[in-house]
């Protein structure tokens, strides 16, 4: 094959051969550019679930599913979780490089000073029933930000995009904490500028006006690390939703609200809530074999929540850090024998040695241990996906900016394989 040919992929369809360009990335699979396929062949590609489709080019996050590798702007997630902090990771995702001390100070000050919500937005919360799922509140209130911050909705103005990006990263913890407080009937707690991002969030969630609350540095560090682990993850379902919404020119607040709505599903961000409910349903290690049997039964819709991943066919690197964080939090809280953790660790051991899971390369994902950790920290299960959305907001915002700034970006508009009725004439009701 000549050097030129190496850049082309030949496709033989219906007796004709067509050539398509091959684009190489920095690392990972190359892509066959099929954007001219329909023009050349009159045919579409077909890839429901997008298992073999690259929707964009990106320099933000790289995942190697076989190796179990996750890089943010080239830095391994394990190193960012161990050596960095969430605000620094936000800067990295948004700007492409780790900040200097001065850059980090400016960024952190800007985020801290944008954590307050327009006072009138409090009324949105009071429109919900107290037992509303906090994710319903998140979708509604985040979307409503576009009704208050008109000065940062012009997506063609880089300065407005920067302001909207910082507002979203800064205000999402405040909105999440308010959703929690509203659900338990406690007064909202204002953010404090003397606390770091994670401590501020925990303070807004767990402090009450009647007494001072000192946030545990260990729990704050664990919260910060959990935010890092959830910050971004390539073109997952909710990120793809944000990109598709953004491709129409919708404002950033509406796009992030769309991402939150998508993340809510139990196959995606809702899995941490579902995983904890599953562990509670299993109840004891004695019941594990029955549930593993059900997970393997094609006729049973039950799946092991927190297991499996579209990309990772190896251990999710975030799950390892999550497991370590889980043990640290339980240790800090003096929880010696958490029955849910016992079930989780035994379930993991059984599943990792079961031929069904081995053959299908189903490993624990980030959602497997996060639920136990968050429950131990005092969050109700309904808040688990809210915390995922809080952390993922910076990833969505970074991906949205990259999409808007991409000169090749056009409105996303997939086609279909039509399997409905051929053309037919209307039938009067008297003749039906
Ligand atoms: C997240 O994309 C991302 O990056 C997402 C995420 C992020 O950071 O944004 O990483 C966050 O969403 C993690 C995933 C959380 N979801 C869960 O834990 C829910 C349980 N997992 C599954 O529903 C499933 O594994 C998915 C949805 C995660 C992945 O689904 P795929 O890639 O479409 O795989 P599949 O459904 O085609 O399953 C392949 C096979 C099937 O068996 P066969 O039809 O081939 O016989 O594996 C089986 C499935 O039945 N299978 C499972 C299973 N997951 C897949 N069997 C039992 N238990 C499971 N959990």
Q: Tell how far the Cα of 415 is from the centroid of ligand 1, in angstroms.
A: 25
Give the ligand 1 atom nearest the CA of 306: 18
HSE at residue 340, side-chain half, CA atoms within 13 A, is 21
Give the pLDDT band (50/70/90) at residue 2. very low
CB within 8 A of 76, min separation 6: which ones?
69, 70, 317
Pocket test for ligand 1, best of 230, 308, 370 (most atoms within 8 A of CB): 308
Helix (H) or strand (E) holding 31: strand 31-32
Cα dihedral angle (259, 149, 384, 184), rounded to 10 degrees?
A: -140
Q: Whose CA is nearest to atom 52 of ligand 1?
A: 303
- Ligand 1 is surrounded, with C-beta below 6 A, by 49, 233, 236, 267-269, 271, 295, 303-311, 360, 362, 365-367
Catalytic residue among 286, 367, 406, 425: 367
Q: Tell how far the Cα of 304 is from the centroid of ligand 1, in angstroms.
A: 9
Distances from the Cα of 32 to the Cαs of 11, 22, 153, in angstroms? 10, 5, 35
What digits encode the pLDDT tens for the residues 113-130?
Answer: 999 999 999 999 999 999
Helix (H) or strand (E) holding 63: strand 61-64
Question: Residue 314: helix, strand or coil by DSSP?
Answer: coil
Sequence length of the chain is: 432
Among candidate residues 60, 70, 145, the one with its CA nearest the CA of residue 94: 60
Q: Tell how far the Cα of 365 is from the centroid of ligand 1, in angstroms.
A: 9
What digits encode the pLDDT tens for the residues 313-343?
Answer: 988 999 999 999 999 999 999 988 888 889 9
Give the pLDDT band (50/70/90) at residue 99. very high
19 is catalytic: no
Q: Whose CA is nearest to atom 28 of ligand 1?
A: 309
- How high is the pLDDT of residue 13? 87
What digits encode the pLDDT tens for the residues 408-422?
Answer: 889 999 999 999 999
Q: Whose CA is nearest to atom 41 of ligand 1?
A: 360
More confidently predicted of 97 and 364: 97
pLDDT-above-90 percentage for the chain = 91
What digits encode the pLDDT tens for the residues 256-280?
Answer: 999 999 999 999 999 999 999 999 9
* Dist. CA 243–CA 250, nearest whole Å: 10
Burial of 237 (0-12, 13-18, 19+ CB in 10 A): middle
What digits encode the pLDDT tens for the residues 153-188?
Answer: 999 999 999 999 999 999 999 999 999 999 999 999
Q: Tell how far the Cα of 183 is from the centroid of ligand 1, in angstroms.
A: 30
Catalytic residue among 5, 309, 342, 406: 309
Inter-residue contact 222 to 328 (CB < 8 Å): yes
Pocket test for ligand 1, best of 265, 273, 309 (most atoms within 8 A of CB): 309
Q: What share of the chain is helix, strand, coil (3-state, %, to 5)?
A: 55, 5, 40
Burial of 4 (0-12, 13-18, 19+ CB in 10 A): exposed
Cα dihedral angle (100, 226, 167, 209), rounded to 10 degrees?
A: -120
- How high is the pLDDT of residue 58? 98
End-to-end alpha carbon distance in the chain = 62
pLDDT-above-70 percentage for the chain = 99
Inter-residue contact 90 to 394 (CB < 8 Å): yes
Inter-residue contact 198 to 221 (CB < 8 Å): yes
367 is catalytic: yes
Give the ligand 1 atom nearest the CA of 309: 28
Helix (H) or strand (E) holding 71: strand 69-72
CB atoms within 10 A of CB 158: 12
């Amino acid at each position: 094959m000549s050097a030129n040919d190496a850049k082309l992929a030949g496709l033989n369809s219906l007796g004709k051969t067509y050539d398509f360009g091959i684009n190489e990335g920095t690392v990972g699979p190359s892509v066959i550019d099929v954007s001219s396929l329909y023009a050349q062949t009159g045919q579409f590609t077909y890839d429901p679930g997008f298992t073999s489709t690259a929707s964009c080019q990106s320099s933000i996050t790289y995942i190697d599913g076989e190796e179990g590798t996750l890089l943010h702007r080239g830095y391994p997630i394990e190193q960012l979780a161990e050596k960095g902090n969430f605000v620094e990771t936000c800067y990295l995702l948004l700007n492409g490089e780790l900040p200097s001390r001065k850059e980090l100070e400016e960024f952190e000050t800007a985020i801290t000073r944008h954590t307050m919500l327009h006072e009138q937005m409090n009324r949105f919360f009071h429109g919900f029933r107290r037992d509303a799922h906090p994710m319903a509140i998140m979708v509604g209130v985040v979307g409503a930000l576009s009704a208050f911050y008109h000065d940062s909705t012009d997506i063609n103005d880089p300065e407005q995009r920067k302001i909207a990006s910082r507002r979203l990263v800064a205000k999402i913890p405040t909105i999440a904490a308010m959703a929690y407080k509203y659900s338990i009937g406690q007064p909202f707690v204002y953010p404090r500028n003397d606390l770091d991002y994670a401590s501020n969030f925990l303070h807004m969630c767990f402090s009450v006006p009647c007494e001072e609350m000192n946030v545990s540095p260990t729990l704050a560090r664990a919260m910060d690390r959990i935010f890092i682990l959830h910050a971004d993850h390539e073109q997952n379902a909710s990120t793809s939703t944000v990109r598709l919404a953004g491709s129409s020119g919708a404002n950033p607040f509406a796009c992030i609200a769309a991402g939150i709505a998508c993340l809510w599903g139990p196959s995606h961000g809702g899995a941490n809530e579902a995983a904890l409910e599953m562990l509670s349903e299993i109840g004891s290690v004695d019941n594990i074999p029955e549930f593993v049997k059900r997970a393997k039964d094609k006729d049973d819709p039950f799946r092991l929540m927190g297991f499996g991943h579209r990309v990772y066919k190896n251990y999710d690197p975030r799950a390892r850090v999550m497991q370590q964080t889980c043990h640290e939090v339980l240790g800090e809280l003096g929880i010696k024998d958490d029955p849910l953790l016992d079930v989780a660790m035994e379930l993991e051991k059984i599943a990792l040695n079961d031929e069904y899971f081995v053959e299908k390369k189903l490993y624990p994902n980030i959602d497997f241990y996060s639920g136990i950790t968050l429950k131990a920290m005092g969050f109700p299960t309904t808040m688990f996906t809210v915390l995922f959305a809080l952390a993922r907001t910076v990833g969505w915002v970074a991906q949205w900016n990259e999409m808007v700034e991409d000169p090749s970006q056009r409105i996303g508009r997939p086609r279909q394989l039509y399997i409905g009725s051929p053309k037919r004439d209307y039938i009067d009701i008297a003749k039906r």
